[in-house]
Amino acid sequence: MGRPGKKLGPHAWFKDMSNPVTDLIHHAYAPPAGFEAPQPGVFKASTIFFNSVADMRGRYRSIMDNDSYTYGLRGTPTTYLLEERLCALEGGERCLLVPSGLAAIGLVSLALLKSGDEVLFPDNVYGPSKSLAEGVLKDWGITHQYYDPMDPQDLEAQISSRTKLVWLEAAGSVTLEFPDLLALVRICKQRKVLTALDNTWGAGLAFKPFDLVPDASPALGVDISTHALTKYPSGGGDVLMGSVMVRDRALHKLLKLTHLRLGLGVGMNDVEAILRSLPSIALRYRAHDEATRALALWADTQPEFVQVLHPSLPGSPGHKHWKELCVNGFGGAAGLVSVILDERFTQEQTDAFCDALKLFRLGYSWGGPISLVVPYDLTDMRTVWPTYLEKGTLVRFSIGLEDVLDLQQDIDQALRVLR
Ligand SMILES: *Cc1c(COP(=O)(O)O)cnc(C)c1O
């Protein structure tokens, strides 16, 4: 069976063919017109067809604007849709999806830094960020330093002519101190250094990272916001994904080129899961937040805990900055709370306390329905022990969506192993 000599439109020439296998593969499918439903259709493709070679060449030129399709790895209607919705939530212009929150952090560094450059991290930064700097960037001749997130002057002093990127995090994901984000951003702007905020905690809800000062003109905010969509945007504890968002087109282009070169694709089923969870993100965030504040207040009255770290507590480091930035906006404080146990308890006792919890499961990550707990050894994680932290072992709770009194009772019964 030979192909017809003359060129025909798709589906025209196989009508006379007898092999149903071919018929099946070339079945003329068009998405149903007039089928509007709450959830968008999911489009999967590696290959995307072109109508002509001219069409093929033309589409490559316009890829930066998310208005054409060339290959699945370079974007589909499904990835563009999630990117647009994330931008709508946070106030960004362009967004890129990557396979994890950590990949988002990696993409920013790989796109913007080269040998000889230096990158600065807050000393309380998400741990694997340090590992990336120490294990990968260093080997490529990119140096890094850690600054005290609670001391803008320390950041200022560390910026040199080699500093090309400053990472920010608010709040710190284990110790939950809230920096003076505006002061840190102002310093970087003055020194013409790019800022990237890991905004997983804020989720685009607690504050608006591209507009730290409401209605300022020109806008005053970070250059880049990254997220672990794994956390609140997913909300299920079952999806890994990250995003990198910007307002500046030129910066987006730089990031997108590296994104394409590294082949950082995401699975459409995962994108679909996030699209399905996103409409309830504000409700879930508020529920996690309210339960966490109630638990933080109660934990603060327990004698075994010498310090409770949660930005809404007046005694928590950076409470004032949190209030200035977040209470004006959505007012949220996410679902994390950490406690420092009295120095008299050994690490073994702290571990036994964690093991005695029943509703709180031992596990990493947060943002899902199930409450989680992790004991952390801060001495391994910080270059210095900050003066604003009490001495002792640290336990971080991620508050899920269970009844808050049940969670309180669970901590209370586990504390008995220490009494
Ligand atoms: C979880 C997390 C990440 C990494 O996200 P993954 O999807 O697990 O790679 C990055 N930053 C912060 C603050 C996080 O909590």
C-alpha 47 – ligand 1 centre gap (Å): 31
Which alpha helices (DSSP H) does 191-305 contain, by range?
Answer: 249-262, 268-277, 281-299
C-alpha 3 – ligand 1 centre gap (Å): 52
Predicted pLDDT of residue 16: 56
Predicted pLDDT of residue 156: 98
Predicted pLDDT of residue 7: 39
Confidence category of residue 266, pLDDT binned at 50, 70, 90: very high
Predicted pLDDT of residue 24: 65
CA angle, corner 44, sides to 40 and 50, nearest 5?
A: 110
Average pLDDT over residues 100-113: 98
Is 240 found in the same domain as 126? Answer: yes
Rg of the Cα trace of the chain? 25
pLDDT at residue 102 above 70? yes
CB 92 within 8 A of CB 225: yes
**Considering the domain boundaries, does residue 4 fall inside one?**
no
Which carries the bigger pLDDT value, residue 187 or residue 13? 187
CB 108 within 8 A of CB 165: yes
Confidence category of residue 11, pLDDT binned at 50, 70, 90: very low
Predicted pLDDT of residue 384: 85
What string of H, E and C letters represents the secondary structure of 99-161? CCHHHHHHHHHHHHCCCCCEEEEECCCCHHHHHHHHHHHHHHCCEEEEECCCCHHHHHHHCCC
pLDDT at residue 5 above 70? no
Predicted pLDDT of residue 348: 96
Is 211 found in the same domain as 266? Answer: yes
Report the domain count for the chain. Answer: 2
Is 317 found in the same domain as 181? Answer: no
Predicted pLDDT of residue 40: 86
C-alpha 228 – ligand 1 centre gap (Å): 5
Average pLDDT over residues 310-324: 95
- pLDDT tens by residue, 124-145: 999 999 999 999 999 999 999 9
Predicted pLDDT of residue 106: 98
pLDDT at residue 4 above 80? no
CA-CA distance, 193 to 188, in Å (whole number)? 5
**Considering the domain boundaries, does residue 391 fall inside one?**
yes
* Probe target for ligand 1 pocket from 105, 109, 197, 198, with the most ligand atoms within 8 Å of CB: 198
| Minimum-distance ligand 1 atom for the alpha carbon of 200 | 13
- The model carries a pTM of 0.92
CA-CA distance, 308 to 338, in Å (whole number)? 6
Predicted pLDDT of residue 6: 38
Structural domain range at position 345? 280-417
**Considering the domain boundaries, does residue 2 fall inside one?**
no
Number of DSSP helices (H) and strands (E) in the chain, helices first: 14, 12
Spell 311-345 as b/e; 16+ CB within 10 A means b. Answer: bbbeebbbbebbebbbeeebebbbbbbbbbbbeeb
Domain end residue (candidates: 261, 279, 297) = 279
C-alpha 227 – ligand 1 centre gap (Å): 7
Average pLDDT over residues 88-100: 95
Which carries the bigger pLDDT value, residue 328 or residue 239? 239
Is 171 found in the same domain as 263? Answer: yes
What does the DSSP 8-state code read for residue 95? E
| Minimum-distance ligand 1 atom for the alpha carbon of 105 | 10
The mean predicted confidence, pLDDT, of the chain is: 91
**Considering the domain boundaries, does residue 24 fall inside one?**
no
Average pLDDT over residues 89-117: 97
CA-CA distance, 189 to 249, in Å (whole number)? 18
Predicted pLDDT of residue 31: 65
* Probe target for ligand 1 pocket from 126, 178, 244, with the most ligand atoms within 8 Å of CB: 126
C-alpha 417 – ligand 1 centre gap (Å): 32
Give me the CATH number covering residue 109.
3.40.640.10
C-alpha 174 – ligand 1 centre gap (Å): 12
Predicted pLDDT of residue 246: 98
- pLDDT tens by residue, 223-240: 999 999 999 999 999 999
Ranking 3-7, 85-89, 95-99, 148-152 by mean pLDDT, the lowest is 3-7
pLDDT at residue 3 above 50? no
Domain end residue (candidates: 279, 299, 318) = 279
Which carries the bigger pLDDT value, residue 170 or residue 63? 170
CB under 6 Å to ligand 1: residues? 100-102, 126, 173, 198, 200, 228, 230-231, 240, 242, 365
Which residue has its alpha carbon closest to ligand 1 atom 4? 101
Helix (H, G, I), strand (E, B) or coil at 390: coil
Average pLDDT over residues 34-55: 90
C-alpha 249 – ligand 1 centre gap (Å): 25
pLDDT at residue 8 above 60? no
Average pLDDT over residues 10-15: 44
Is 273 found in the same domain as 286? Answer: no
